[in-house]
Amino acid sequence: MTLTEKDVKKYSFVALLVVLVVLAFLIIRPVLFSVLAGLILAYIFLPVYKLLLRVIRNKTISAAIVSLFLLVLIIVPLWFVLPIASKQVFEIFRISQDLEIRPLVKTLFPAASEQFVNQVELAVKSSFSKLTAAILNSTVDILVNFFIIALHILLGIFVFFFTLKDSEKLKEFASGILPLAKSQEKKFIEQFKDITQSLLYGQIVAGVIQGLTAAIALYLFGIPNALVLSVIAIILSIIPVIGPSFLYVPVTIFMALTGNPLHAVGYLLFNIVIVSSIDNIFRANFVSRRTNLSQAVVMIGMIGGLFMFNVLGLIIGPLILAYLITLLRAYKEKNLSSFFDSS
């Protein structure tokens, strides 16, 4: 088969495009986390920006106000909370080492041998030590790499600002490069929009709200080192199936063992009645109504994404799996090819 001049130009263009895409990825790779974080946060805060835009009627000012608000949300915890959190991590480590675990193990496993009790006690204290060391190492890394982290934050805010400001232009650009038929483009975009909103708002935002409510319970009932436990509560609330119960159940047991049974019961009831109900309300409204995505898929995506993309993987992982399942479902229903018809 003889290649025409037109074919040579076409293949040369494709080769050039591939080379440029690879080079662009290598350039963006060191700051990929910041760019993706800026894009995802812009999507989450887009309703706030649009609401503000109705009042101010200026895209630049509206985007700047929302960006400044986000910057404060990031800097204030790092500046004020980090020193307090570091101190509380040491305190939690000290309490874990002084905690009498043997009576609890013997109560739960009356027939257990002395060797088994010793192994459980050693495993629990070792786990606390490793967790404490990991948190402290992260804190030290933040302090040592302060200027690099500050640069990443500024870049993320920069991406966040322009994504909000030029959201309509970006939408038009993305729509223009999609290799889809116009008749199917709207349907395709709506499906992906429902998936994205259900995960970001139903899983991430709802998880943060639930975690903050669990944090309020920690302060209301006077739980020691509530700041660090609040951060853990928020992280656990974001992850499906696990939830804040993995925190408030051990805290309840700890309160009961340290001589506060009434506080323990009150704290447990607050979490069961109020904190758990938030999960049912928000996730039922966002996840169930918008998509039939399984919570197992979300959890697998979050855990796998966490290993692959660090913290940002909690969002990226489930989105990748959800988009893949949508395309596979379209292929199974024999209508995938209709997306690419010229009609």
| C-alpha dist (Å) from residue 47 to 38, 44, 52, 141, 164 | 15, 7, 9, 34, 10
Angle at 202 between CA 312 and CA 33, to 5 degrees: 15
Instruction: Count other C-beta atoms under 10 Å from residue 303's C-beta.
Output: 16
CB 251, CB 225: distance < 8 Å: no
CB 259, CB 123: distance < 8 Å: no
pLDDT of residue 186: 65
Closest CA relative to residue 218, chosen from 274, 175, 168, 288: 274
Where residue 65 falls among pLDDT bands split at 50, 70, 90?
very high
Handedness of CA 322, 323, 325, 330 (dihedral sign): positive
Q: From the centroid of its chain, how far is CA 118?
A: 37
Q: Model pTM?
A: 0.66
In whole angstroms, what is the distance from residue 296 CA to residue 283 CA? Answer: 14
Helix, strand, coil percent values for the chain (each to nearest 5): 85, 0, 15
Mean pLDDT of 6-31: 83
In whole angstroms, what is the distance from residue 256 CA to residue 107 CA? Answer: 14
Question: Which residue did the predictor score with more confidence, 224 or 142?
Answer: 224
pLDDT tens readout for residues 209-256: 888 888 888 888 888 778 878 888 888 888 776 778 888 888 888 787
Tell the residue number behind the tokens 């640069």, with chain if given.
151
Residue 334 reports pLDDT greater than 70: no
pLDDT of residue 304: 85
Percent of all residues in the chain with a pLDDT value above 90, rounded to a whole number: 6
Name the packing angle between helices 226-238 and 206-220 (round to 10°).
Answer: 150
334 token code pair? 């024999």
180 token code pair? 């889809």
183 token code pair? 């008749």
pLDDT tens readout for residues 265-312: 888 888 888 888 777 676 656 555 555 667 777 778 888 887 887 777
Angle at 279 between CA 77 and CA 271, to 5 degrees: 75
